[in-house]
Structure 1
Amino acid sequence: MPKCVIDGREIDVPAGTTVIQAGLMAGIEIPHFCWHPDLPVDGNCRMCLVEIEKMPKLQIACNTVVSDGMVVRTTSEKAVQAHRTTLEFLLVNHPIDCPVCDQAGECYLQDQYMEHGLHDSKIQPEEKVRKRKVVDLGPIMLDAERCVLCSRCLRFEANVTGTNSFEFVNRGDHMQISTFENRPITHNYAGNLADVCPVGALLSHDFRFKMRVWFLEATDSVCPGCSTGCNIFIDHRDGEAQRLRPRRNVEVNKSWMCDIGRKEYKEIALDTRVTAARVRGTSGWEGASVPTALDTLADRLREAGTASAFLATPQATNEDLFAFRTLAEKVGGMLDFRVGDPQDKVRVLEDSVLLRADRNPNTQGCLDQGLGRTGVKEILAACAAGKVGALVLQGPELLRSAEALDALGRVPFVAVMATREEPLLDRAHLVLPAAMWAEVDGTFTNYQRRVQRIRRAFAAPGSATPRWQMAAGVSTRLGTPLPAATARDVFALLARAVPDYAGLDFKTVGAGGRGLPAGPEQIATQEARA
């Protein structure tokens, strides 16, 4: 491993490491615009110039590979002057609109100027070259006058999506980015263009003028939109999610996420949530507290005994699934989760980037815990034959199935844990308010069998409760309490019960997740593409 010295700090780095990467390993961030860790190097912005011993000229840190004994200075007089000069050129024609620019607060140019610039402009505002602004490209808004021509968007389009929507047009100081004939961006990864843009040239239509970023709090989580399990940030304020952003994980999603996943925050809308329990009485729905509703459920399960059935949901966390499984085993009822056969889609790619056909975040977790037991068809057949006295649904998936209506109509008691109000909930006899993924602590297991943490960003509305707590509450009422007070405790029980999870806890799972051994007995289907 080559050994180098950067600003007096000695560091060993893997062969092939560039100076800018070595700096990050040493805790030194070299200023840059065009470099991105998940895009090919372009080296056009010249902002990362550094001084290297035995080299007569300054070198760009993004494309200079570390050699053994290399001594790098990022804050020498020559390097500092180069950074300042580069910034001055970039700002020559840049508009002075930071107070109204939506990128303020997370703008590379703004940050670099405050740290490395602070020079007086030699160009008067009226002398600046004018370029296009407020160009509507569908999900993205283009302000070409703010662009620093870093080419990140071009490289993303060329190397990630393969769509090549952007190009450079014109020459000299009139050069700018553009799409052909100003056509809109139509692929499913447009939001990443706003993420890779270091300035305010490309902005998300969905988030534009919505919220100043310094008011937002970011919470680490995992996207629930499909079985890929992209790592994300939930940006929220006052108990409401404002946007989702990709969180870099080289093993899962690199720095990207699809636009379908970005819209998942809208599903947490407060006005459509199930916020309280209700029980169907002789005259219709009657409101009930969650403890009272759990009392009712426990009584009906006690009466039904082994003539009960449980359907888990791959939308639930591993902790939810474990508590639900424990309850089903206590009662002795039938158990499954495979409504719609998500296990056949868990590894099926729908595009060439990230999106998978299985729109559930935890199908693999269901498989790992052995929840595919009785068979959904068998459970429905038992319901149709009048052999099921109580049916407990961890999610509303079965209620959406037209084929299940007749069978459900023959079950005297159907309980469902639901997050959103839907007309189909009228097919149940008891509705329990379930907290959503952004409102709970826990884990999902993605298609790779990588266990990943989700963290509670804000409180659930009303009396909405984590699914594992409701299942544990019923177990307690049936005389077999689950020895757990938190999701962390439930995961510890799971790790003792499921061999492949042995030795894991929230700490060892960490921010990037922990991969499980992938054997043919655990894998539902082979890697395929739709």
Structure 2
Amino acid sequence: MPKLTINDREIEARDGAMIIQAAAEAGIEIPHYCYHQDLPVDGNCRMCLVEVEKMPKLTPACATSVSEGMVVNTHNERVKEAVRGVLEFLLVNHPVDCPVCDQAGECRLQDYYMVYGLHTSEIPLEMKVRKRKVIDLGPMVVLDTERCVLCSRCIRFCDHVTGTGELQFFGRGDHVEIGTFEDRPILNPYSGNVVDICPVGALTSRDFRFKCRVWFLHSTDSVCAGCSTGCNARIDHRDGAIFRMIPRRNPDVNKSWLCDEGRLSIHEIGRGERVRRALIKGRDGMQAPASLGEALDAANTGLREAARKYGGAAILGVGSASATNEALFLLARYVKGQLGGDQLEFRLDSEDRKALEPEDKILRRFDKHPNSMGALALGFAGDEIGGIEGAISKAREGKIKAAVILYYKPLVTRETDALAEARIAELVSLLEFSVLFAAHKADWQTDAGVLLPVAAWTEEEGTYTNYQSRVQAALQAINPPGDAQPAWSLLAALLEASGDTSVWSSSTDVLSDMKQAVSAFAGIDLDSVYSQGALISTNGAL
């Protein structure tokens, strides 16, 4: 690993690293537009020019590899003057419409101007080259060619990541602009990423456009729950409303990308009526509202009575591949430890057996649940049941009399979802007693003995295990509605009501217990779980 000096500071860099990468890893920022760590180097913006000792001219940091003994200066007057010159050229024909630009507040052109620019434009507005504005490029992207700095990030993304090549340069001289042939829409399933990587306001999101100024938003690190890839993401929200989800870089999972399905899945939480209060079925067969305490007591009483009457083998625990590891762990603990049951299941349809199969060569996977591998590691795929169809058969035969069920509607829908929901509804209708944890209402839930309101994905903290068997944390962004609580919290209360002496005040407490109780999770490091994720060992097949 070569050692070099940057701004009088000696650092050690990776072999083959470029100066800009070595500087970034050492916490030294070099201004840039065209460089992106997950795209091929282009070197066209000239913003990252640095001075290297013994080199007569300034050199682009993004295209110059480090070497032993190299001496680099990134902020002397010679470098600053070069950067100021580049900025001045970029601003010659820029519309300077920051007050109405969605990128304001997170725009590199604004940021660098405040550091390196602060000059008065020599070109009056009426003499600037005018280009096209507000060009609709499909369901995700709006283009404003006047704001573009021609960094080519979006072009390289479409060429080298998706391989679809929609965007290109058109025109000559100071009339060059980006666009698509005949303004055709960008329809690849990752089109939203060109908005994320645009350093200025040339490409903006149709979904987020004019919704909220970014400085009003609060950001929460999370994991996309749209499929089993578990892309790392950041959720931006304000006053209990979610405005957008954008990728958070993890080189081992999703790099800097997020598919459009996952990006838009945040809106699914607000669609449909939420379960806001607990309901208990009375002797007249009708459900009536109840407090959480009353509902938990009724759930525990009904399940323990069924276990006493028919034995633990008649009790089924149905987990969800969309539930957190913590919720699944406590569900299994309750069914096994308090009810004497050993039958656990989570597979609702044949599509859930595709957890390891990719839908494309980039990120998307056929399994539209974030935690199938976690459910597998926690023992929810026993051979004695064989999926939801096996559970229905046993219920018809009278071998299963009661169940505790976690149910979440998938955020990304597929054709088999309706059938999967119909199967769980059929199971509930066949049981003498059932306790259902749900976030969204459905007609079939009236068959449940007790219905408990649970928080949705963005409303709770917990971990998910992706298809790589990587455990990753998602933090709580907003509060759940009504009396809804995270499923792990309700299950912890249910365990307490049944006599379990453990105390869990957070999902991290549950994860710590899980490490001790489940061998697959024993070796994970909690700090890693909350940063880049931690791999566990899983075996078996869905």
Given that residues 342 and 363 in structure 1 are in contact (C-alpha distance below 8 angstroms), is that contact kept between their aligned partners in structure 2? no
Equivalent position of 1:292 in the other structure: 294
Report the CA distance between 1:342 and its aligned residue. 5.2
1:329 matched to 2:331? The reply is no
Equivalent position of 2:413 in the other structure: none
1:167 matched to 2:149? The reply is no
Given that residues 343 and 364 in structure 1 are in contact (C-alpha distance below 8 angstroms), is that contact kept between their aligned partners in structure 2? no
Q: What is the CA–CA distance in structure 2 between the aligned matches of 1:366 and 1:86, rounded to whole Å?
A: 54
1:353 matched to 2:362? The reply is yes
Change in Cα spacing, 1:481 to 1:384, as seen in structure 2 (3 Å) is farther
Q: What is the CA–CA distance in structure 2 between the aligned matches of 1:205 and 1:149, rounded to whole Å?
A: 21
Equivalent position of 1:75 in the other structure: 75
> Which region of structure 1 is more displaced relative to structure 2, 405-414 or 289-298?
405-414
Change in Cα spacing, 1:476 to 1:132, as seen in structure 2 (3 Å) is same
1:383-432 Cα shifts (integer Å, max 9, x gaps) = 11233332221115799543565554331222211111223323433211
1:239-282 Cα shifts (integer Å, max 9, x gaps) = 22111010000000000000111112112328732111112332
The one-letter code matched in structure 1 to 2:110 is Q
Please state whether the residue corresponding to 2:98 is helix, strand or coil. coil
Given that residues 399 and 424 in structure 1 are in contact (C-alpha distance below 8 angstroms), is that contact kept between their aligned partners in structure 2? no
Equivalent position of 1:528 in the other structure: none
Q: What is the CA–CA distance in structure 2 between the aligned matches of 1:421 and 1:354, rounded to whole Å?
A: 31
Q: What is the CA–CA distance in structure 2 between the aligned matches of 1:229 and 1:315, rounded to whole Å?
A: 11
Change in Cα spacing, 1:93 to 1:523, as seen in structure 2 (3 Å) is farther
Q: What is the CA–CA distance in structure 2 between the aligned matches of 1:189 and 1:429, rounded to whole Å?
A: 43
The one-letter code matched in structure 2 to 1:357 is F
Equivalent position of 1:462 in the other structure: 482
Please state whether the residue corresponding to 1:46 is helix, strand or coil. coil
Equivalent position of 1:196 in the other structure: 197
Equivalent position of 1:303 in the other structure: 305
> Which region of structure 1 is more displaced relative to structure 2, 151-160 or 464-473?
464-473
1:63 matched to 2:71? The reply is no
Q: What is the CA–CA distance in structure 1 between the aligned matches of 2:394 and 2:271, rounded to whole Å?
A: 37
Please state whether the residue corresponding to 1:188 is helix, strand or coil. coil
Equivalent position of 1:504 in the other structure: 524
Equivalent position of 2:441 in the other structure: 421
Alignment of 1:237-248 (within 5 A): 237-248=238-249
> Which region of structure 1 is more displaced relative to structure 2, 397-406 or 484-493?
397-406
Please state whether the residue corresponding to 2:330 is helix, strand or coil. helix
Change in Cα spacing, 1:267 to 1:401, as seen in structure 2 (3 Å) is closer
Equivalent position of 2:534 in the other structure: 514
Equivalent position of 2:403 in the other structure: 391
> Which region of structure 1 is more displaced relative to structure 2, 411-420 or 261-270?
261-270
Q: What is the CA–CA distance in structure 1 between the aligned matches of 2:271 and 2:359, rounded to whole Å?
A: 31
Q: What is the CA–CA distance in structure 1 between the aligned matches of 2:71 and 2:55, rounded to whole Å?
A: 10
* Structure 1: runs of 5 or more not aligned: 526-530
Percent of residue pairs bearing the same amino acid type? 49
Report the CA distance between 1:442 and its aligned residue. 1.5
Report the CA distance between 1:343 and its aligned residue. 4.9
> Which region of structure 1 is more displaced relative to structure 2, 266-275 or 47-56?
266-275
The one-letter code matched in structure 2 to 1:276 is R
Equivalent position of 1:143 in the other structure: 144
Equivalent position of 1:411 in the other structure: 431
Q: TM-score, structure 1 length as denominator? A: 0.95
Given that residues 272 and 441 in structure 2 are in contact (C-alpha distance below 8 angstroms), is that contact kept between their aligned partners in structure 1? no
Given that residues 236 and 243 in structure 1 are in contact (C-alpha distance below 8 angstroms), is that contact kept between their aligned partners in structure 2? yes
Q: What is the CA–CA distance in structure 1 between the aligned matches of 2:109 and 2:178, rounded to whole Å?
A: 17
* Structure 2: runs of 5 or more not aligned: 410-417
Alignment of 1:80-479 (within 5 A): 80-138=80-138, 139-269=140-270, 272-281=273-282, 282=284, 284-305=286-307, 306=312, 307-330=314-337, 331-333=339-341, 334-341=343-350, 343-373=352-382, 374-375=384-385, 376=387, 377-395=389-407, 400-403=420-423, 407-479=427-499
Given that residues 408 and 440 in structure 2 are in contact (C-alpha distance below 8 angstroms), is that contact kept between their aligned partners in structure 1? no
Report the CA distance between 1:502 and its aligned residue. 1.3
Q: TM-score, structure 2 length as denominator? A: 0.93
Q: What is the CA–CA distance in structure 2 between the aligned matches of 1:429 and 1:496, rounded to whole Å?
A: 33
Change in Cα spacing, 1:523 to 1:123, as seen in structure 2 (3 Å) is farther
Given that residues 425 and 444 in structure 2 are in contact (C-alpha distance below 8 angstroms), is that contact kept between their aligned partners in structure 1? no
Change in Cα spacing, 1:257 to 1:406, as seen in structure 2 (3 Å) is closer
Please state whether the residue corresponding to 1:219 is helix, strand or coil. strand
Q: What is the CA–CA distance in structure 1 between the aligned matches of 2:326 and 2:5, rounded to whole Å?
A: 47
Given that residues 473 and 481 in structure 1 are in contact (C-alpha distance below 8 angstroms), is that contact kept between their aligned partners in structure 2? no
Change in Cα spacing, 1:433 to 1:131, as seen in structure 2 (3 Å) is same
Report the CA distance between 1:474 and its aligned residue. 1.9
The one-letter code matched in structure 1 to 2:64 is T
1:161-219 Cα shifts (integer Å, max 9, x gaps) = 00000011110000000101101111111110100111110001000000100001111
Please state whether the residue corresponding to 2:477 is helix, strand or coil. coil
Q: What is the CA–CA distance in structure 1 between the aligned matches of 2:43 and 2:267, rounded to whole Å?
A: 38
1:493 matched to 2:505? The reply is no
Report the CA distance between 1:336 and its aligned residue. 1.1
Change in Cα spacing, 1:253 to 1:523, as seen in structure 2 (3 Å) is farther
Q: What is the CA–CA distance in structure 2 between the aligned matches of 1:435 and 1:175, rounded to whole Å?
A: 50
Report the CA distance between 1:283 and its aligned residue. 6.2
Q: What is the CA–CA distance in structure 2 between the aligned matches of 1:454 and 1:130, rounded to whole Å?
A: 45
Change in Cα spacing, 1:252 to 1:108, as seen in structure 2 (3 Å) is same
Q: What is the CA–CA distance in structure 2 between the aligned matches of 1:276 and 1:157, rounded to whole Å?
A: 47
Q: What is the CA–CA distance in structure 2 between the aligned matches of 1:65 and 1:320, rounded to whole Å?
A: 48
Please state whether the residue corresponding to 1:391 is helix, strand or coil. strand
Q: How many residues align?
A: 522
Please state whether the residue corresponding to 1:409 is helix, strand or coil. helix
The one-letter code matched in structure 2 to 1:311 is V
Change in Cα spacing, 1:458 to 1:505, as seen in structure 2 (3 Å) is farther
Coordinate RMSD, CA, aligned: 1.7
Q: What is the CA–CA distance in structure 1 between the aligned matches of 2:272 and 2:376, rounded to whole Å?
A: 34
Q: What is the CA–CA distance in structure 2 between the aligned matches of 1:231 and 1:466, rounded to whole Å?
A: 21
Please state whether the residue corresponding to 1:459 is helix, strand or coil. coil
Change in Cα spacing, 1:267 to 1:405, as seen in structure 2 (3 Å) is closer
